Each structure stands twice: as C-alpha cells, then as structure tokens.
Amino acid sequence: MSNNVKAKREPLFHIVKREDLKIGYKIMIYAIAIVVSLFLGGIMSSLASKGDPFSFFVSLIDGCFGSSRKLWVFLQQMALILSVSMALVPAFKMKFWNLGGNGQILIGGLAAIACMFYMGGKADDGVIVLVAVIASALAGAIWALIPALCKAFFNTNESLLTLMLNYIASGLVTFFLAVWVKSGSGVLEPIKYGNLPELGNPYILIILFGALITALMFVYLRYSKHGYELSVVGDSPNTARYIGVNVKMVVIRTMILSGAICGLVGLLLTSGMSHTIGVKTAQNMGFTAIMTTWLGNCNPLMIIATSSLVTFVTKGMEQVRMDFGLTNDSIANLIIGLVYFFIIACAFFIQYKVVFNIKLKKAVKATADNTVVASTEETSTEIEENEEEVK
C-alpha cells in the first residue's frame, strides 16, 4: 500500500501542552529568562565598551538602588508606569485594545498646564490644583470616550482609533506651545503657579497615587459589579447581552475610567513633576504600560511585578550607559528589547513542554554511566536555555 512512501523516522521531539505547572516553576522559568537575558546584555555591553559583564550587573543595580535619590526616582517611575497600566487593565480585560495611553496622558497634561497657564496668578494655588485635577481627568476621559463611542455605535476598530488619537494629541500640544510661547522656541518655561503640593519630597505624591490607584483598581476589578460586568463583556459578549448587560454602556463607562486615570497621570507628569509640557512628556508610557499589562496577564498584582521589572531595566540601563560610556542609546534599547523578548518567549515554556523521543538512547545511557536522566521538567528548562542562547 505504501510502496512509494518514504518511511518516516520517529521525530526527535514533540511538544506537549501542560496545565499543572506549579507557581514555583513558573517563577523559576521567568527568573532564569531574566537572568540569562541580562547576562547576554552584559556581554553585549562589554563588547561595545571596555567594561565586563559583572560590572554591568553592578551598574544595573546601582542605577536603581544606588542612592536614596535613585531609589526614590525608581519608585516614582515605577508608580507612573503602574498607574498607566492600571488605566489600561479594565479596557484590556474588556478586550478593548486601548493603545492610546500616550495621547490620553498628553491631553490630560495639556489640560492641567492650560489651567496653570491661564489661571496662574489670578487664583489661589489650591483652586488651580482643584480645577486642574478635574480638567485633566475630564480631558483624558474625553480622549478615550471618542473611540469608545465609535466602537459602541459604529463598531469601528478601537486599536486604530486610539492609536491615531495619540498623534492628534501630540499635534495639539505642539499647537498650544506655539500659541503660548511667544518667543517661538517651542519650549515652555516651567510655570510657578498651581503646582501640586510636595509631601516631604517631590516623589512621594506620585508614589502614593500609584499605590492608591493599584489598590482601588484591584478591588474594582475583583469585587465590584462594574468589574464583573466588564469581564463578562470581555470574555463573551454574547453572554453579556444575554444576561441583560448593556454592552455599549459598559464599553463607554470603562473607557471613561481608563482615560480619566491616564489624564491624571498627565497631571502628575506636568504639574507634579516638570511644570511644563512637551510632545515627549508622556515618555511613551502609554506603550510601555501595554507591555506591562499584557505581561502581567491583566492582573493588578502581577502588573506590580512587571512594571517594577521594566523600570528596573530602563533605569538600570541609564546607569550602565553612563558607567560604560555608551554614547548612543541603541545598545540600551537593544538590551531592554532582549529582556522583553525573553519574558514573552517564556510563555511558550509555561504552556508547553518539549518531550524527547529518546527512550532507547535513554536506556542505553542510563545503563552505561548511571547518569540520572533528566526529568521532563528539567529537560524543558535546559532546552529553554539552549534556545535562548541561540536567539
């Protein structure tokens, strides 16, 4: 029957799905991936300059925790990314891909700066702050509401719309800078009026905000009816309709919330930190947060871990650049990308394991030198490492 068929050899390995991976193993796999990627990063940096991989690690840690100021900055940066992630979580849980974090932050910051610019000197700082808080939240909410309405009523593609609104937001910022700055330099001098109060030092307010938002969002998603509704909409829109959830309402409501938080982050970045605004004010946090949210599996607790990792790598790399005398930031970006890539690649090893079909060889080997044959768990980790090294 099969004369013309080439006899197939048994394949070398096959891939098997697994479901019962213990949390310890998961953490181990992630830890290995991070360490290996950083190690590779160290080698790369030392190739590009005169340093060695060990001092790379030292610089990395020094950049984040080297002094109390560095620690504060680290926490502040982490709180900012965490807050933006918290803004994205409800939208992502609803399977509404809000890629417009940047634009919402910018527009919130713009609103805050506008309040400071026009009311500065004419009203009490307290009043200005109050108005700025409301204005920035509102501005962010409106910026998110536009794609939400289009999605709800015309079923447009939300990723495209939110993405495009980013450009409109940065365009608006440029426009207002041109209007406000008479000299034409396009750089707004820091405004002295209506700045957010400093609680002891300039970092604490933002850190507190991040912690508060994370806690609130955790409760909102886990225990509130709204959180329940939006998960139903995300998981099965048909079921949501069937149980009488007003899907359009939920989409609009959630996006307003998402945009408002982004807007508040804009306020923090402007009247809380720089007291001015530029097109780069958002620091691309809208996109970084997409990654932290996604890697954190839309779970606020896991996002704390992912955003601290991302901040660690970014802040640490800044120090490395300085210490190693790397003149351009492409190597830094390369290493950050490497870490992200390794973490994403981990998902494969968490969901699947690779089983080798080497029973015969195994038996021979076992009798030959009495080596303990690696269990599948260990085998898969080994492969992971190999694979990663290949990459």
Partner 1 sequence: MSNVALELKNITKTFGSVIANKNVNLVLEKGEILSLLGENGSGKTTLMNMISGIYYPDEGEIYIDGKLTHITSPQDAFNYKIGMIHQHFKLVDVFSAADNILLGEKMPTYSIRENAKKLLETLPQESLIKEVKKGEKVSKTLDFKVLGDYALTYLKICALPFIKLGKFVQFDFLANNRAKKLQEVADKYGFEIDLNKKIYDMSVSEKQTVEIIKVLYRGAEILILDEPTAVLTPQEIKKLFDVLRKMREGGKSIIIITHKLNEVMEISDKVTILRKGEYIGTVETKDTSEKELTEMMVGKKIDLKIERTITDFDKPLLEIRNLSINGDDGSSKIEDVSFYIRGGEILGVAGIAGCGQKELCEAIAGLRKIENGAICHKGDSIVGLPAKAIIDKGISMSFIPEDRLGMGLAPNFSITDNMMLKTYNDNKGPFVDRKTARKNAEALIKKLEIVTPSTETPVRRLSGGNVQKVLVGREIEAGPNVIITAYPVRGLDINSSYAIYNILNEQKSKGTGILFIGEDLDVMLALCDKIMVLCHGKNMGIVHAGKVTKEQLGLMMTGSLDLTEVNAEKNYGIAKDSHLTEEQWEEEKEKTEGKGENEDE
* 301 lies in the binding site for partner 1 (CB under 8 A): no
CB of 357 to partner 1, least distance (A): 9
| Beta carbons of 317 and 336 less than 8 angstroms apart | yes
Q: Which of 62, 226, 350, 383 is close enough to bind partner 1 by CB under 8 A?
A: 226
CB of 239 to partner 1, least distance (A): 5
Residue 321 has phi, psi (to 5 degrees) of: -60, -40
* 10 lies in the binding site for partner 1 (CB under 8 A): yes
| Beta carbons of 88 and 306 less than 8 angstroms apart | no
CA distance 353 to 391: 19
Place of tokens 């001098």: 189
* 18 lies in the binding site for partner 1 (CB under 8 A): yes
| Beta carbons of 94 and 152 less than 8 angstroms apart | no
* 7 lies in the binding site for partner 1 (CB under 8 A): yes
Q: Which stretch binds partner 1 (CB under 8 A): 23-31, 79-87, 233-241, 379-387?
A: 233-241
Q: Which of 183, 238, 370, 375 is close enough to bind partner 1 by CB under 8 A?
A: 238
A 10 A CB-CB count for 276 gives: 19
| Beta carbons of 96 and 251 less than 8 angstroms apart | yes
CB of 92 to partner 1, least distance (A): 13
* 369 lies in the binding site for partner 1 (CB under 8 A): no
* 100/296 with CB nearer partner 1: 296
* 132/303 with CB nearer partner 1: 303
Residue 328 to residues 84, 125, 333, Cα–Cα distance (Å)? 28, 41, 10
Q: Which of 174, 224, 284, 330 is close enough to bind partner 1 by CB under 8 A?
A: 224
Pair of tokens at residue 148 = 């939400």
* 231 lies in the binding site for partner 1 (CB under 8 A): yes
Q: Which of 133, 232, 251, 267 is close enough to bind partner 1 by CB under 8 A?
A: 232
| Beta carbons of 261 and 86 less than 8 angstroms apart | yes
- Residues near 66 by Cβ (< 8 Å), separated by ≥ 6? 319
CA distance 262 to 193: 23
CA distance 59 to 52: 11
* 19/369 with CB nearer partner 1: 19
CA distance 361 to 154: 61
CA distance 145 to 260: 10
* 1 lies in the binding site for partner 1 (CB under 8 A): yes
* 242 lies in the binding site for partner 1 (CB under 8 A): yes
CB of 258 to partner 1, least distance (A): 18
Phi-psi region of 328 (alpha: psi -120 to 50; beta: other; left: phi over 0): beta
* 168/247 with CB nearer partner 1: 247
* 239 lies in the binding site for partner 1 (CB under 8 A): yes
* 223 lies in the binding site for partner 1 (CB under 8 A): yes
Report 247-286 residues binding partner 1 (CB under 8 A).
Answer: 247
CB of 227 to partner 1, least distance (A): 8
CA distance 35 to 41: 10
CB of 244 to partner 1, least distance (A): 3
Q: Which of 157, 236, 297, 327 is close enough to bind partner 1 by CB under 8 A?
A: 236
CB of 13 to partner 1, least distance (A): 10
CA distance 314 to 333: 9
* 228 lies in the binding site for partner 1 (CB under 8 A): yes
Pair of tokens at residue 239 = 């079921």
Residue 356 has phi, psi (to 5 degrees) of: -85, 140
CB of 205 to partner 1, least distance (A): 27
* 135/251 with CB nearer partner 1: 251
Number of residues near partner 1 (by CB under 8 A): 34
Chain-centroid distance of CA 237 in Å reads 26
Largest CA distance in the chain: 94
* 93/315 with CB nearer partner 1: 93
* 54/228 with CB nearer partner 1: 228
Three-state SS at 356: strand
**Binding residues for partner 1, per CB under 8 A?**
1-2, 5, 7-11, 14, 16-20, 223-229, 231-232, 235-236, 238-239, 241-244, 246-247, 355
